[in-house]
Structure 1
């Protein structure tokens, strides 16, 4: 059974292999889609009424937040610490300044406080009270973790089935086996040829997520795309695409972006330290790790 819907600026494809009632499977798929809706409502930087943007309107005061915002933000901060700020969820104002500021459905432009000096160290979470505290005005961007988090929540709704795939525009989790009882064969998009694949991987109870400079570019600024280094405010271009395979989609999502931002040597070293597999592609060749 397959169904598709649009959330988080991408087409979400869900496929379930089951011998059980199709009504039950369809209900489970609908619950999986609902997870994307909840995460988008919580984490969107492009909606003024999202939980994230409403929380960013307050600083120097603790703000209670839901698990749908707290958990991906906590993981993003952990990755920021691991990379010493090369990956930084406080980059929202810089993203806006470079033109990545429009809601994908309405076209509305999202404004936020100019906060070029803000870093992840200005974002504080209280685990006991589940509150967010901002030390200064800033805009949080969770684009590198929210989709993976939603994939994981959706996958949780489908875990009782023999096999399933939750695919959010190439960021996906493959559970169990396909209809033939084999591991899922997942194609990695070619970064240059839109309709081509550069690699196929077999997955079972694993996620793969890709960050690439080809996905969203700023046509007015040569070399600029939607992955921007927090310190230089420029887009690194040592990689053209980074795909990471991990036990969970949020982990794969975040570290695919982190590896891209870290560049050739430090990016590969991070994957080795984490014990994760990756398909890392330079503008001229691809390397398998």
Structure 2
């Protein structure tokens, strides 16, 4: 996960949402209350449109509808469009049609309500793939999803929500802002004089680093160590291989990506988990700086992950 290290002359607030931590930091302490109100309102709007865990959400109403195609609201349309962009960019490694598979694996309610993980292998595949992202179409607010398929926007929605919240606060209040949703981080507006300091780690016993980023940057970490649960004595994690419909092989324990948006960073980090060893070449070819920790605890950096000098909008690292 990624967390925000100490920064001078900023104000911050924290709260729980979507079974994770929301962390808001602004460069103008007088703007904190208004900024938090904006972020909470935006996240509520996203939740009502995209949550797989509330029966009244737009995405679940869509799943229960027999209307094909169906008109959808602007927010859900934006998030579905983004998920299809992610699927195309990753050659299907990030696929929004995995909701049904997630449900059958036991991830059928808010994560905080799931059975804690136990020792054991991932739950074996016991169902047939119904569709893939290429069978979903969206034109002028009209969405077509194959019958029986539940969309799961979790691989992109949280990161896109962070980007939307950061952009909204910076635009409306004119201050610098950092929004972190479960470690998916987006920055916008004027940055602090020393930049935004971010600690990248996935636990006390995992390798860590501190980076400093500027404004208009996204940082995201995907992990096979987090979001784990048990079903029938078998343990699963939340990043599925879309081809096999089982949790992706944990070749990488964690992958952190820095990009021009949190949405792109999280799309790439999630895809890297699925792609396994081939992710190094894929990230390199796409010019995405990444820090990857494998199952042995060894670190792989892709080109562009900087070390000693700061540049506006790019990170510096300090190993410790």
Pair 1:142-2:153 in alignment: yes
Contact 2:221–2:256 (CA under 8 A) maintained in structure 1: yes
Sort the Cα spacing of 1:172 and 1:95 in 2 relative to 1 into closer, same or farther, 3 A: same
Sort the Cα spacing of 1:36 and 1:87 in 2 relative to 1 into closer, same or farther, 3 A: same
Give, in angstroms, the shift of residue 192 of structure 1.
Answer: 4.7
Query: Partner residue of 1:68?
Result: 75
Query: Partner residue of 2:179?
Result: 166
Show the 5 A alignment for 1:48-127: 48-59=55-66, 61-104=68-111, 116-126=129-139
Query: Partner residue of 2:163?
Result: 152
Give ranges in structure 2 of 5+ residues lacking alignment: 1-10, 115-126, 303-320
Give, in angstroms, the shift of residue 254 of structure 1.
Answer: 1.6
Distance 1:167 1:183 in 2: 15
Pair 1:18-2:31 in alignment: no
Pair 1:257-2:282 in alignment: no
Residue deviations 1:191-248, cap 9 Å, x none?
3526x661111111211011101111234325x3111101112222111101111111
Distance 1:135 1:216 in 2: 28
Residue deviations 1:157-188, cap 9 Å, x none?
2215443211112111133323xx11111001
Residue deviations 1:14-35, cap 9 Å, x none?
011117xx2x442132112211
Distance 2:268 2:43 in 1: 20
Give, in angstroms, the shift of residue 252 of structure 1.
Answer: 1.4
Bigger mean CA deviation after superposition, 152-161 or 165-174:
152-161
Distance 1:252 1:260 in 2: 13
Distance 1:154 1:193 in 2: 29
Question: 2:229 aligned to 189, 201, 218, which one?
Answer: 218
The structure 1 segments of at least 4 consecutive aligned residues displaced by more than 4 Å after TM superposition are: 104-107
Query: Partner residue of 2:4?
Result: none
Contact 2:137–2:143 (CA under 8 A) maintained in structure 1: yes
Residue deviations 1:86-121, cap 9 Å, x none?
2211111111111111224677xxxxxx77322112
Contact 1:17–1:161 (CA under 8 A) maintained in structure 2: no
Sort the Cα spacing of 1:192 and 1:152 in 2 relative to 1 into closer, same or farther, 3 A: closer
Give ranges in structure 1 of 5+ residues lacking alignment: 108-113
Contact 2:111–2:227 (CA under 8 A) maintained in structure 1: no
Give, in angstroms, the shift of residue 3 of structure 1.
Answer: 1.6
Contact 2:290–2:301 (CA under 8 A) maintained in structure 1: yes
Give the number of aligned pairs. Answer: 273
